[in-house]
Amino acid sequence: MGNQCFAADKSQAAVKVQAAGQIQAWWRGTLVRRTLLAAALRAWIIQVWWRRLRWRQLRRQRRALLNIYANQEQAAVKLQSWVRMCQCHQRYCRHCRACSAACVLRAPSGCFALQIRDALQPRLECAVRQLEFHVEILTV
């Protein structure tokens, strides 16, 4: 009987050892999975942060390039406007010189007041009839 009890105790001890080994294996697996999950979450958080940082940088770069483009377009429009204004002014001056020369030739030579009045009047008429202005408004 003593041998049987000893054998039963041995088999129960072996079962307990095997059960303890299974519990330890399960616990180690749980710890490993938990550690891997934590590492994956940390990596995911870092990736989200990095993507957000890159997106902000790209948005800033695009905004800066857009501002540069808008400034260049605005400068080009101002320059074109200035050149057109100068061209119109030159045409207007040429036209007024031609009108005033014609008016002075038509005016009587003895009356200075009539020459001034005749010289001013065609300028207004010529300006209204002959000059054309083309205005383009560009919005950015």
Q: What is the pTM of this model?
A: 0.44
What are the helix (H) ranges across 107-138? 112-130
Where along the chain do its domains lie?
2-130
In this predicted model, what pLDDT tens digit does every residue of 30-58 receive, in sequence order?
999 999 999 999 999 999 999 999 999 99
Mean pLDDT of 70-95: 91
Contact 133, 122 (CB under 8 A): no
Find, among 40, 60, 38, the residue nearest to 48 by Cα: 40
- Give the C-alpha separation, 14 to 126, whole Å: 120
Question: Where is mean pLDDT largest: 1-10, 68-77, 113-122?
Answer: 68-77
- Give the C-alpha separation, 37 to 85, whole Å: 71
